[in-house]
Structure 1
Amino acid sequence: MGHLMILATCSLNQWALDFEGNLKRILESINIAKQKGATLRVGPELEITGYGCFDHFLEGDTYLHSWEVLGKILQSEETRGILLDIGMPIAHKNVKYNCRIIILDGKVLLIRPKMFLANDGNYRELRYFSPWSPSQHVEEYYLPRIIRDITGQTTVPIGDAVIATIDTCVGVELCEELFTPNSPHISMGLDGVEIFTNSSGSHHELRKLHRRIDLIKEATLKNGGIYLYANQQGCDGDRLYYDGCALITVNGQIVAQGSQFSLKDVEVITATIDIEDVRSHRGQSSREMQAVNIRPYLRIEAQIALSSLEISMTPGFRPSKPIKEKYHTPEQEIALGPACWLWDYLRRSKTTGYFLPLSGGIDSCASAVIVYSMCRLVIQAATNDDVQVIEDSRRITGEGKDSDYIPKDPKEFANRIFHTCYMGTQNSSKETRERAKHLANSLGSYHIDFNMDNVVTSIYTLFNFVTNKTPRFRVNGGSDVENLALQNIQARLRMVLAYLFAQLLPWVRNKNGSLLVLGSSNVDECLRGYLTKYDCSSADINPIGAISKLDLRKFIAYAKNEFDISVLDEFLNATPTAELEPITNNYVQSDEVDMGMTYEELSIFGRLRKNERCGPFSMFSKLIHEWGAELRPTEIASKVKRFFFYYSINRHKMTTLTPSYHAETYSPDDNRFDLRPFLYNTAWSWQFKKLDSLAKDFEKK
C-alpha cells in the first residue's frame, strides 16, 4: 500500500561566489520541500558556488568554501529526514570535477561527478573540469577534515553509481548528459533505476525551451521512470539568464512545471507520485529483453523510504495528474527574460537605477519598454508580498529598510529608478524628439531633452584649430571619410554625455548613488558592425544586444497591446535612421540603405554564419537554393560578399561590445560566445574567387 511519494525539485537564483546567499537559498528550498512533505529534494547545478564562476573554478578557495558550505548543510537540522541532491565542485586526486553530493541525515552517501561536459556555445566546462570516466567506475574519496569532523566518515564513494533506498532506486543525470545521444538515464533505467534527477545550469535563449522539455519527456517515455529537473534561475553575474522552469515528469508526461521567468529567489515544485505507475509502464517484454543484458550499477544504500504509508492510506490523496506544458511566445520571452535579468543586475550592483539615451528609434524604444516590463514584474511581486523584492525596491529607491514604501504602480516606480534622455543635434528631426518624449511620458521615466550642437561644434573648432582643415558632410560636398568622421563625433559625444548624466542625475534629484547606462544596439547591427565604436551603444549592459531587429519589431507590436502603450505604433511605422547626417529635401539617412542589406537578410546571414557554420562559399551554396527563384546567382554572390566584407572589417568592434543579455544563437559577442578573429584578411580572395566561379557556373545553366 505504501507506494505514494512526494518529490521536490527547485529553481534557485544563485549568484557566483555568493556562498552566504547561496547557502541561505539552498536551506530555504530544503525547508519548503520538507513542509510540502517531500522525501527527496533536487537542486540546480553547482548551486553552492553558483554556475557562472568561470576561472574561479581554478582557484583553491572556491573548493575550500564549497566544503565549508556543505558542512553547514550537513549540520543543519533542516536537512534531516530528506534525501538531498546538492551541487558543488570537487577536487579528487588533484583533478577537478563538477559534482552532485547525495546526502542523508548528516552523512555523505555518494559523490557523483559529471561525465559529459558542456563545451560549446556559452559553455567552457572543459576549461575548469574533467569528465568522469569510464561509466560505472567508482572509487573511494577521502573527505576533507572539516567534513570528517562533522560526519565521522573518512571515505565515501565517488563515481557513476546509484542510490538504493528502502523502496526504490535513484540515479543522477547531470545537465548536458541529457542532451547526449547515449544519455545515462537509458542504461540506469534498464538497470532498474526508477527516479532520475537532473541538476542543470541551462540558460534562456529565444525559442529554446521546447527542445529542453521534449528531451525531458522523452527520457522517461520509452523506458518509464520519474524525472526531476532542477535549474538555476536568474542572473548569475554575467550575460546569461538562467530561466528556471523546474519540471517533474512521469512516464513521459509532465506532472509539475515551475515558472520560466520569475523574480523569486527560491521556487520549489513538488508532485505526488505512485511508484507503481513506473513499474507498470515498464511491463513490456521487449524492454525486459534489453534489461537482463545491462551491466549493473553499484548501488549505494540509503536508509530512507521515499514512499509513505501514511499518505498512501490517506483518503482522497492521489498522484499528481499530467498537465499540459506551458510555453511563452518569443514576444513574451523578450518582455520577461531581459526584464528579470535587468532586475537582478540592478539590485545586485547596488546602483539606484538605469539611464537610457532615447533616439526616437525602435531599438532604444525596445530597451525602454523592457525596463518598463521589469517595473511591472516588480509591482506584481510586491503585490504578492515578495519580501525580497520589496526590500530591494526600498533600498534602490532610497527609501531605506525601515520605510513602509511598497511599489504599487509601474509608472510611479519607473519615475524613481528609470531616467531617459534625448540628445538632439541639428541633424535630428522633430519626429524622433517627439516620439522619445511621448514614450517617456507613457512609461513614466524621468526624462530630459537638450541639444548638444554646441558640444559638437567645439570639437569641430578644436580640429580646425589644430589642422587648419574643416571636414564636411557628404551632402555638403565632403568625402566619405569626412562624412563618417562627423557622424562618429556625434555618436561618441553621446556616450560621454550619457555617463555624465548617469552619474549626476541622482544628485540633481537629491538622491544618493549613480545610474547604470543601458545600451540599445541589436544583434543584427552588431553582426554587420553598423555602430560606432564607443558611441552610445557602449554602455554598462544592453538588454537587446542579442535580439534581432525582426523580433524586436514583433515585441513592440506585442507590448503596444499587452502594456497599453499606444505611442508604440509610431515607432513601428518609422523608418530606422541614425540621424547623424543632415536632412535635406532629397535625402534622409536610412539604416538599411547605409548597411547595404536589409535586417531580414542580416538575420539569415547571421544564422548561416554561426548556427550552420558557413563560410562565404557554403553560405552561397545554401542561399542559391533559397533565393534562386528571385535573384540571379551573381546577385546572391554579391550579397554574400558584401556581408562578409563588412562583417570582417567591423569584427574588432565586437571586442568592446557592451555585455548583452544573451538571447540569440547567432550572437556575435566576441567576449564569450563567438570566438573568432578580429583582424581578418577582408579581401577573402580565395573564398570569393571560388564563390564567383560557382555563381558563373550557375548563370550559364
Structure 2
Amino acid sequence: MDFIKVAAACPKTRVADVDYNVKNILQCINDAVKNESKFIVFPELCLTAYTCGDLFLQEYLLSKALDGIFEILESTKDHDALIAVGAPLICGSTLYNCAFLLFKGSILGIVPKSYLPNYSEFYEKRWFTEGLSVEDERVDLPFQKDVPFGVNLIFSSSIANFGVEICEDLWVTIPPSSYLSLMGAHIIGNLSASNELVSKMDYRKSLISNQSARSICSYIYSSAGVHESTTDVLFSGHLLISENGSLLKENDRFQRENEVIYSIVDVFKLKSERMKNLSFRDSSKFINKNPNMIKFEFSDASISTFDRFVDKHPFVPSYEKEREVRCKEIFNIQAAGLAKRLEHTGSKKAVVGISGGLDSTLALLVIVKTFELLGIDKKNIVTITMPGFGTTDRTYNNAINLCKELGTDLREINIVKASLQHFEDIGHDKDIHDVTYENVQARERTQILMDIANKERGLLIGTGDLSELALGWCTYNGDHMSMYSVNPSIPKTLVRYLVQYVAQHESTEVVRDILMDILDTPVSPELLPKDANGEIAQKTEDIVGPYELHDFFLYHFIKHGSTKERIFFLAKAAFKDNYSDEEIQKWLDKFIFRFFTQQFKRSALPDGPKVGSISLSPRGDWRMPSDAKPWE
C-alpha cells in the first residue's frame, strides 16, 4: 500500500566525546529498527555534538568522527534501514558539516550543508564551508572509497526516494529540499541543531509544515538535545514528522534520555498529490540541477502493526473549535455564492422545497443568510412543503414550524392527488411501490417548484449534497435539478455539523430547538408509505449504507485516487471498532457500483459553489464518462 515507517531520533550526547555519542546513536538505531523504521534521522553533527566550537579545527576530533562512522557501519550491517547521521568531514583543506547516509554497512552518500548561519548566536563559517555548489563529486574515506558527495543526492528505493538537508537549509528563501522534492525525493530528512528561544518552536513548526506542504513531501526533523553545551544557548531535542502540511508526530522537548519518535508515512498519497498538482510538475522544468540517483533497496518494508491514525470522518475537523471555524467559513461561501447569482440574475425571490430533512434545512438556512446579506425581505423566500405518501408528522411539523419562525412565505401543496392522477395517466398501479412510484413524487415536486419559481420570477434553489451526488441518490430531472444549488460539494457527514453550527451560533432559541430535532431525525426521502405507527419506514442508510462509510470511500477515491483494495485497507483501520470487514466490503462494493453507474446524473448538474477540495462538478473538478465499467 506504499506506507513506510520513519523515525526521528535525539540521542544523549557529550560534547566532543565521539565514543559516548556513538553508543547512544546505536541504541536509538536499534530501538528504531525493532520498531520497523526504514528511515532514521539524527541531529546535525550528532557524532561530535554541534557545540564543539574551535575543537572542530582539531585533527583528533575529525579523525574520531570518522572512526565513529565506521563503528556505526560495522554495527548496522544487518539493519534494513537508511540512517542519516551528522558528522564533520574534511576534504583536502576544506571542512564540511555533513549528513552521512548509511545502509547495511556502507555509506550510500554524503550530503554537505548548503547554507551556513553566521549571524546572531551562530558563526559556523568560522569552521565550515558552504556546500551549496558541491555536486556529483566523490570522496575517499579510510574504510570506503569513491563515496558520492554533493547536495544533489537522491537515495532511491522502489517504495520511496529520500533526500536530506541540514538545519539552516530549511530557513533560507529557497530550501534545498524544494529542489530535492522536484528532483524526485518523497521523504526529506533534516539534521538540525536549532536552539530554543521564546516562540521559536512555533515558527519552526510552521516552517516544517509549510515546507512539507509546498514540496508535497514528508519532512522528518531531528534537532540537537539538552546535553549540548549551554555556554550561550540551549537546545531542546525537538523532533517532528510532517506530511504534506500535516503534523504526524511531535515529541515533548527537553528530554534528558535517548528519544525516538515514529510515524507511518503515506507515500502513495504523496505520489498521488504530485501527479495531480500540475504546478508541481511544471516547476520541475525550471530547476537547473540534475539529481544523482543513488539506488538501494530495502529487504522488507512491510509494517506488522499499522498504527497510523486514519480519520473516520475526513471531511469533518476533529476539534470542536476548528469545526466551528470551518462551518462558519463554508456557510459564508454558500451564502456569497448564492448572493452573486441573485444579483447577476436580478432575482429578488428564491424558491425552495422544504421537507423537514437535513439538506433542505441547510439550503433554507443559506438562503436566509443570503437575504440578510443583501437586505432583502425574507418574505421573498418562497418555502414550499409538499406532503406525499411517506411524509410523517415529525418532518411535516418541523418544516412548517421552521419556515414560520424564519419568517418566509410558507406554502403547502399536497402532491398525493397529482401523483395518483399521474399513476392513472401512465398506467401504474399505486400499490406497486417501485422506483416509478418513488420518482413520480420526486418529479412532481420538482415540477411544482420550477413552475412557481417561474411564476414568482425567482430562482429555484437545489438542496442535494455531495454524498447523494456520489451515489446518484437523487431522481434524474427530479430533486437532481434546480436553477442554482448550494450544497453540491458538502458531504452528508458535514451537512449535519453545518446545521448544528447555525443552530448553536446563528439562531434564536426556538429555531435552535427545531434544528436540533431535525438533526435527530433519520435520513429519508419519505417516498414510501409510513409504517403502522406513522413513523419513517424508508431509511436511506438501510438501503445505500452508512453515509460515514460512503463519505470515507468518496474522500479517498477522489482525493488520492486510491484503489478499491487500498480504500478497504484504510476503512478497516479507521472503522475497526464500528463495522465488520464484511460490512465494509459490502458497502464499498455498493459505493463503487453506484458511483460509476450514476455519473450521467453528475454530468448534468446545475451550477453550485465549491467549498472544499473535493467536488463532482462536471465543469471544474470531475470529468468522467457515464458508461465506464465499475471496478471489481
Q: Scaled by the length of structure 1, what TM-score is found?
A: 0.43
Structure label with greater radius of gyration: 2
Q: Scaled by the length of structure 2, what TM-score is found?
A: 0.47
